[in-house]
Structure 1
Amino acid sequence: MTNFVLTSFFLCSLSWLAVSGSESQTVEVHSGEEVTLQCSNSSSLQTYTEWFRLVNKNISCVSSMFGSHSQASFCAGFQNGKFEMSSNITAIYLKIKRVNLSDGGLYFCGFYMNKRIVIFNATELKIQGKLVVMVYLSV
């Protein structure tokens, strides 16, 4: 929850972002698994939506799309086919295939409304690494 408060403070200081009705949750997955993050679509209108990620106080654009029937665009560093963005009238989704430790962070989505990106949901993604044990046998 501390990270989310920091994010809210940081985002509110930017003129083109606002935080409204925000929710926060934590999702834990193991390295190598697939995860789908969900953001409630508070607007019943076809609008511009975007996913962001916060890691070590750095915010990165992940992906964006207009409406539920358009194709998603992916930002630099997220164009590797590992990420998929989709939406319907009630939710926006971000699927991450084969997660690894570097995919962890605070993910949040926003909608373009009244000349700003309004943030509604935040999800902290925690990645649990797999323990690999090597056994050497001497013959």
Structure 2
Amino acid sequence: MTTTKRGVLVAATVATGLMAGTFYAFACAVMPALSRSDDRVYVDVMRDVNDVIQNPVFLPVFVGALLLAGWASWQARHRPGRWWVWIGAAAYAAAFVITSAINVPLNDALAEPGDPASLRAHFEDTWVLWNGVRAALCTIAMGCLAAGSRAG
């Protein structure tokens, strides 16, 4: 594997790992801690989190992991370990779709005015469930991309 191809695969693995860690931290610390809060605090904190996470550090990694994994998949098409890279890219793509189709719309709905108890009731369980799924998918993606790097 050329240095450039290895660099793309390593960058995809690192970016995917950062996303796995972000979603994992929410799954095992942020959301369990917030679940202890009253409705007003819960909604206010999640609104703040959803606002500040849209920043020049998070967004390039979130989108970059998808682009890099796709690029690494294309580069791996004729080499040993390609299946690992393809599975890793597909797993991250699934997490990206879940985030875009489920978690972000829930975040947007939570930003609307309304009764905190009602907003939380329509947000919490679904968001937490799908965050766990995307954390698992990103972890699988990172492992597969790493395995693809070792195989080639």
TM-score higher than 0.5: no
Q: Which has the higher strand share?
A: 1
Q: Which has the higher helix share?
A: 2
Which of the pair has the greater relative contact order for Cα pairs under 8 Å at 6+ separation? 2
TM-score normalised by the chain length of structure 2: 0.26
TM-score normalised by the chain length of structure 1: 0.27
